[in-house]
Structure 1
Amino acid sequence: MGTRHSRVAAWTLVATFSVIAALVMVPRHALAADSEPSLSEAQAAIVVDSTGSVLYEKNPDEQINMASVTKVMTAVVALESGTPLDKVCTLSKPELAENAMVAGYEAGSTSSLEDLLHVMLVYSANDAAYEVAVAVAGSEDAFVQMMNDKAVELGMNDTHFENPHGLDADGHHSTVHDLAILARYAMTTQPFIADTVRMQSTTVNVNGIETTFPTVDHLLGSYDGLLGIKTGAGNYVTAFMGCARRHGTTLYTVVLGCQTREGRFTDTEALLDWAFGTYDSYVLASPEKAMGERPFAYDLALMCPVATQATTKGLVWPDAGPTTYVRTMSSTAQLCAPSDAAGVCTWSQAGRTVGACTYVATAKLTYARSGFGLVDELSPNLMGAKSA
């Protein structure tokens, strides 16, 4: 095994007991190492990539009211509860703060759970959030407990929910760090949420009348690549959880503690512009590039190429020093079948994780060389072997 050092395509091999490699990428543009986004209002802010790697953070663990960003967790818990989206819910018209944004459901009216979720996420209707909680758990308190349990499960250790809608309440708070976890989770595990938060409006039945509600996310349609996801506005602060994709790179942002509704959007744009403009995207690993071979467990005349199952990309800051990686691979004598794990690799830059992947034995079996020469042919059954 060896240590590899590289500048672009140049490799030097040094014998050692583990594989530790350094890859230095030539910067395509230069930026000051202390470059930071220019924020106008946010007390706390964060931008992470699709792996959760932090590109920038400000007061990441400060507990602040997240307001209606709460509704993202409400949607996650409701969708994971198994309650059918077509469930007909009889509504109760809860008592909410006088200035609370509502859809206007009357007591005794009905709605499907799906419509309630749509108007909650798109228009941020607080009465809809309450009705979702009751429809799923039977009571608001029981549902809030489910929300807090989910926060613990996700590792959102500085988050506590007091209600399902986000209206001001003592002890109702989160951090940008925790909400970045929630943003990635919601957008990657719940297609319903990812689709809904991109809607410019939603039309639902309210008290027997088809009513159209516009989105409260004013960045949708105006910021290039924005995918959602949720606004928040309390009595004293505003917030925004965002997601955007450009050229195959997905970023997640959270701003908390802004003073104005416009300020949360301005600071979100600043975070995204800075991150998209500062970091270069690189392909770190590809299924097309084999990282060696392992003997096929069921016929030693054959070999299983080893490669990553999916393309792994990472964001690299050109002026932050070399990007290094540590690759740990199984013995070249390990017997493998397609999909068996054969190694792992993690890339980092200046203490920040850039990307990671797992290498597996693939089903593209090849001939093996031995002292008796090259095997003449492959069994048709083996040629057609596929990963489990």
Structure 2
Amino acid sequence: MHFLPKLLVALSLSATLLLANLAPVVEKFENQIESLIIKDLSNKKILYAKETHKEVRPASLTKIMTAILAIESGKMNEVVTITPEMTLVEPSKAGFKVGEKFYLRDLVKSALIQSANDSATGIGIFVGGSSENFVKMMNKKAKALGMKETNFTNAAGFDIGDHLSTAHDLMLLAEYAIKNKSFNEIVKMNKHTFSPINNKNKIYTSWTHNKLLRTHKYTIGIKTGYTSKAGPCLIARAKKGEKDLLLVMLNSKENRWKSAQAIFDEVIEKERVNPPKPSPTRK
């Protein structure tokens, strides 16, 4: 895919640092991250950007789109019967058996929390009627959101064909998704336990892959991703007081958890150490 004029591609090759206080933190690992964008949602300012328009593999960050389409379908309480096509996927997966029945809402939680590929594939087939039609829905939604640098080929995030996106577009997707209450409630969960409707004795437990939810008290979501081509990826959100930070980190060779936490803490600490000056009082 070649979505960008050569000028924009050239501009995206250089990092743009907009918050000086982040420099010492980001400089420690910026060369180990292919694409990075940090945004303060409280004032809509981009705090840092590197290679935001570079086409990369989005891996399981794809499942944000898959989940949003499921949530917006109005079918969350409908029943999905697991078919062979849904199970014949690579890990990570929940391990469903053909014939098991689940509420769509449980597949959505499994896809977002555990990043289960069988759940995501099942969502696509059920909501779209077929995997092929669901991909069309994904790309139509991407276009509606202004994601001009994105092309989806599957619901799970496999590196199949031109399954590509950019940090810029994934930020657009994440900002849209976190406006949805149901989505936010799911992505902040550490685990989800559920059973097939037709076999209550069997229990599935989806544990989050997002370590920040366990190690960083201000983190409130949202999604991890990894494939051999994409590398470790992360979209994370941290909130404290008026500060509401959203980060997209793609192909991080550095420890993505430590890097994200260092960034979040630097911005939050900056606010604590240097509070706004009070307005002058009139005498």
| TM-score of the superposed pair, with normalisation by structure 2 | 0.81
Deviations 1:121-146 (A, max 9, x none): 11110000011111111001111111
Question: Pairwise mapping of residues 44-193 of structure 1 onto structure 2 (< 5 A)?
Answer: 44-50=35-41, 51-83=43-75, 85-94=76-85, 96-98=88-90, 100-188=91-179, 190-193=180-183
Q: Secondary structure at the match of 1:250?
A: strand
Supply the distance in 2 between the matched residues of 1:31 and 1:259 (Cα, whole angstroms).
24
Is the 1:117–1:128 Cα contact (8 Å) retained in structure 2? Answer: yes
- After TM superposition, give the deviation of residue 266 of structure 1 in Å: 2.4
Supply the distance in 2 between the matched residues of 1:239 and 1:54 (Cα, whole angstroms).
19
Query: Aligned AA for 1:250?
Result: D
Q: Which residue of 2 aligns with 1:226?
A: 219
Pairs aligned (count): 249
Relative to 1, partners in 2 of residues 1:172 and 1:52: Cα closer, same or farther, differing over 3 Å? farther
Is the 2:22–2:266 Cα contact (8 Å) retained in structure 1? Answer: no
Could you tell me which of 181, 192, 205 is aligned with 1:212? 205
Query: Aligned AA for 1:136?
Result: V
Q: Secondary structure at the match of 1:220?
A: helix
Query: Aligned AA for 2:189?
Result: M
Is the 2:22–2:267 Cα contact (8 Å) retained in structure 1? Answer: no
Relative to 1, partners in 2 of residues 1:251 and 1:91: Cα closer, same or farther, differing over 3 Å? same
- Looking at secondary structure, tell me which structure has more helix per residue: 2
Could you tell me which of 235, 248, 254 is aligned with 2:228? 235
RMSD of aligned C-alpha atoms? 2.3
Supply the distance in 1 between the matched residues of 2:209 and 2:65 (Cα, whole angstroms).
18
Is the 2:63–2:111 Cα contact (8 Å) retained in structure 1? Answer: yes
Q: How much identity, in percent, do the aligned residues show?
A: 32
**Higher relative contact order (CA closer than 8 Å, sequence separation 6+):** 2
Supply the distance in 2 between the matched residues of 1:239 and 1:271 (Cα, whole angstroms).
15
Is the 1:45–1:176 Cα contact (8 Å) retained in structure 2? Answer: yes
Q: Secondary structure at the match of 1:194?
A: helix
Q: Which residue of 2 aligns with 1:257?
A: 251
Is the 1:55–1:275 Cα contact (8 Å) retained in structure 2? Answer: no
Q: Secondary structure at the match of 1:111?
A: strand
Relative to 1, partners in 2 of residues 1:264 and 1:33: Cα closer, same or farther, differing over 3 Å? closer
Q: Secondary structure at the match of 1:46?
A: strand
Q: Secondary structure at the match of 2:33?
A: coil
Relative to 1, partners in 2 of residues 1:275 and 1:93: Cα closer, same or farther, differing over 3 Å? farther
| TM-score of the superposed pair, with normalisation by structure 1 | 0.60
- After TM superposition, give the deviation of residue 192 of structure 1 in Å: 1.0
Supply the distance in 1 between the matched residues of 2:33 and 2:219 (Cα, whole angstroms).
19
Task: Give 5+ residue unaligned stretches, structure 1.
Answer: 1-29, 284-388
Query: Aligned AA for 2:245?
Result: L
Which structure has the greater CA radius of gyration? Answer: 1
- After TM superposition, give the deviation of residue 239 of structure 1 in Å: 0.3
Relative to 1, partners in 2 of residues 1:147 and 1:47: Cα closer, same or farther, differing over 3 Å? same
- After TM superposition, give the deviation of residue 281 of structure 1 in Å: 7.3
Could you tell me which of 260, 266, 270 is aligned with 1:268? 260
After alignment, is 48-57 or 60-69 more displaced? 48-57
Which runs of structure 1 show a deviation greater than 3 angstroms over 4 or more consecutive aligned residues?
30-36, 95-98, 277-283
- After TM superposition, give the deviation of residue 248 of structure 1 in Å: 2.4
Is the 2:223–2:236 Cα contact (8 Å) retained in structure 1? Answer: yes
Query: Aligned AA for 1:151?
Result: A
- Looking at secondary structure, tell me which structure has more strand per residue: 1
- After TM superposition, give the deviation of residue 82 of structure 1 in Å: 2.5
Supply the distance in 1 between the matched residues of 2:146 and 2:275 (Cα, whole angstroms).
28
Relative to 1, partners in 2 of residues 1:165 and 1:33: Cα closer, same or farther, differing over 3 Å? closer
Supply the distance in 1 between the matched residues of 2:130 and 2:192 (Cα, whole angstroms).
26
Q: Secondary structure at the match of 1:43?
A: strand
Supply the distance in 2 between the matched residues of 1:197 and 1:32 (Cα, whole angstroms).
29
Supply the distance in 1 between the matched residues of 2:22 and 2:130 (Cα, whole angstroms).
51
Is the 2:94–2:204 Cα contact (8 Å) retained in structure 1? Answer: no
Supply the distance in 1 between the matched residues of 2:96 and 2:44 (Cα, whole angstroms).
38
